[in-house]
Copies of this chain bind each other. A is one copy, B any other.
Amino acid sequence: MPTGSGSGSGSAAVERCARAVADWEPRVQAWTQLDLAGAAQAAARSDAAAPGPLTGVTLGVKDMFDTEDLPTEYGCRLFAGHRPRADAATVALLRAAGAVVLGKTVTAELACLHPGPTRNPHRLTHTPGGSSMGSAAAVATGMADVALGTQTAGSVIRPASYCGVWGFKPSWGAAPVAGLKLVAPSLDTVGWFARDPALLDVVRRVLGGGPQVAPGVPPSGFALVRTPEWDLASADSRGAVEALAVVLRERGVPVDEETGIARTAGEVGVLAGVVAAHKTVQAVETVRSLAWEHRQPAGLSDELRAVLDEAATIGPAAYEAALGRRARALAELPALFRGADVLIAPAATGEAPAGLGGTGDPLFARCWTLLGLPTVTVPGAIGATGLPIGVQLVGRPGADAQLLAVARWLAPNPVPTVAARP
């Protein structure tokens, strides 16, 4: 299964993805807009132009990003049929690098909680996670090579875990948010999904990141971090984290007690209360950012309206305190990383939950999102009932290139799509 390397043909990539769409889309419903004819034309133009780093790569765009040629509805009835004038900055940069946009992918309502129709391709009765649900499912099924998502709590890392693909959330601010519908600006981060971590890194560079780092282990090794929420992860999610540590040791990577394979309670205390602070920051910024939507007489789900109503009761003092908690944790990060460059932690509480009425719990992404650290979901583990489980790797502030170098070293081979699995 080709994964798109920048060396291929855009037209062939569109044809390949169109076949996956025919196979999967009726069941998975990952797309709000799909324009395969327009994509074929764009691919022909891309193939005729000078090759770019993403020539031959197809792209799904979470419907939180503006597109000049496709409706952009933010998963919200208030924006039905909305047509932006311009592409979001990310979309413009990826297109200029040769990527061909296939369409817009399903998002939970305004990238919050209320799910869209997308189903988990590994088991159709289960959620693919959210809010970047369509993007994760489209990549998992080979309907797109890369798909843009956004993360405000756990909206990239969690669906990547549930769908068994690589998901990358760069450092906050590393990828441009212009043309993205903002929900909680000090948290909102552009992320993306792929079946190959090398492709995650190509996208990072196209969006403005620094040069590629040679794949390999981090110079100072790994540390397994049992965050204060560790016991809320399922046995198989905890097991996946611990299994990765074992694999690393087996591959001769210097991760041992001395360099910090485990952290003491005091060190993990750097993160105490950070999840609660994230929830406060998210709630307050969301109710401010969605001030117009909140005041419309109709058009929001009851679920989102209740969230906004409750968020409106949180005062500025609680928000300031949460920002202070973030600042202290950032100042104390060296005590958490200590000698390590990469932390290993759960990506989600477990396998994708059954049912399509929710999108699962972003718990294990909240603290890293609040701190703005780069994180990646490493797929490959299988949970107790046979669904995918990811492991989260967390890099030092701004060490995006280094983190993806580790990801590429971990998995030189692409993750198979669902279709390729037994």
Identify A86's interface contact among B78, B173, B179, B285, CB under 8 A: B78
Q: B186 and A177: CB pair below 8 A? A: no
Given the contacts A288-B93, A316-B208, A398-B320, A185 and B179 also touching, CB distance less than 8 Å: no
Q: List, in ascending order, chain B residues with CB within 8 A of A339's CB.
A: none
Given A177-B182, A183-B178 in contact, is the A292-B211 Cβ separation under 8 Å?
no
Q: Is A242 an interface residue (CB 8 A)?
A: no
Asked if A320 and B185 make an inter-chain contact with CB atoms under 8 angstroms apart, the answer reads no
Residue-wise interface mask of A (144-182) relative to B, using a CB-CB cutoff of 8 A (1 in contact, 0 not)? 000000000000000000000000000001001111011
Measured CB to CB, the nearest residue on chain B to A183 is B178
A291 in the interface (beta carbon within 8 A): yes
Q: Is A289 an interface residue (CB 8 A)?
A: yes
Q: B186 touching A291 by the CB < 8 A rule?
A: no
In the assembled complex, which residues on chain B have CB atoms less than 8 Å from the CB atom of A295?
A: 92, 96
Rounded to whole angstroms, the CA-CA distance of A284 and B319 in the bound complex is 30
Binary flags per residue of A298-322, CB closer than 8 Å to B gives 1, else 0: 0000000000000000001101100
Chain B minimum-CB-distance residue to A180: B182
- Knowing A186-B173, A316-B210, A320-B398, the reply to whether A291 touches B96 (Cβ < 8 A) is yes
The one of B89, B211, B293, B319 that contacts A291, using a Cβ cutoff of 8 Å: B89
Is A87 on the interface with B (CB-CB < 8 A)?
Answer: yes
Q: When the two chains form their complex, are residues B173 and A185 in contact, meaning their CB atoms are under 8 A apart?
A: yes
- Name which of A207, A289, A323 has the most chain B CB atoms within 10 A of its CB: A289
Whether a CB of chain B sits under 8 angstroms from the CB of A123 is no
Q: Which of B87, B173, B320 contacts A210 (CB 8 A)?
A: B320
Query: Nearest chain B CB to A288's CB is how many angstroms away?
Result: 4
Asked if B208 and A93 make an inter-chain contact with CB atoms under 8 angstroms apart, the answer reads no
Say if the beta carbon of A82 comes within 8 Å of chain B: yes
State the CA gap A191–B366 with chains docked (Å). 30
Inter-chain contact B185/A292, CB cutoff 8 Å? no
**What residues of B have a CB within 8 angstroms of the CB of A92 in the complex?**
291-292, 295
How far is A235 from B213 in the complex, measured between Cα atoms in Å? 51
Q: Shortest Cβ distance from A29 into chain B, in angstroms?
A: 24
Q: Which residue of B lies closest to A287 (CB)?
A: B208
What's the least CB distance linking A324 to chain B, in Å? Answer: 9
* A80 to chain B: closest residue by CB: B85
Q: Which residues of B contact A291 (CB under 8 A)?
A: 87, 89, 92-93, 96, 176, 178
In the complex, whether A230 has a CB less than 8 A from a CB of chain B is no
CB of B289 within 8 A of CB of A178, answer: yes
A89 in contact with B289 given A177-B182, A182-B177 (CB within 8 Å): yes
Chain A 257-298 near chain B by CB (<8 Å), digits 1 or 0 = 000000000000000000000000000110011111101000
Return chain B residues, CB-CB under 8 Å to A79.
Answer: 85-86
Q: How far is the CB of A190 from chain B (nearest CB, A)?
A: 11
With both chains docked as a complex, state the minimum distance between the C-beta of A131 and any C-beta of chain B, in angstroms: 16
B176→A289 contact, CB < 8 A = yes
Any B CB within 8 A of the CB of A209:
yes
In the complex with contacts A178-B182, A288-B176, A86-B210 CB distance below 8 A = no
User: Is A332 an interface residue, CB under 8 A from the partner?
Assistant: no
Interchain CB contact (< 8 A) of A89 among B82, B96, B290 = B290
Distance between A147 CB and nearest chain B CB, rounded to angstroms: 19
Task: Scan residues 62-103 of chain A and give those whose CB is less than 8 A from a CB of chain B.
Answer: 68, 78-79, 82, 85-89, 91-93, 96
- What are 6 A-B pairs at a CB distance below 8 A? A68-B292, A89-B289, A89-B291, A91-B292, A176-B285, A178-B182
Beyond A79-B85, A89-B288, A208-B316, 8 additional contacts (C-beta under 8 Å) are A82-B85, A91-B292, A92-B295, A96-B291, A176-B291, A179-B182, A208-B288, A208-B319
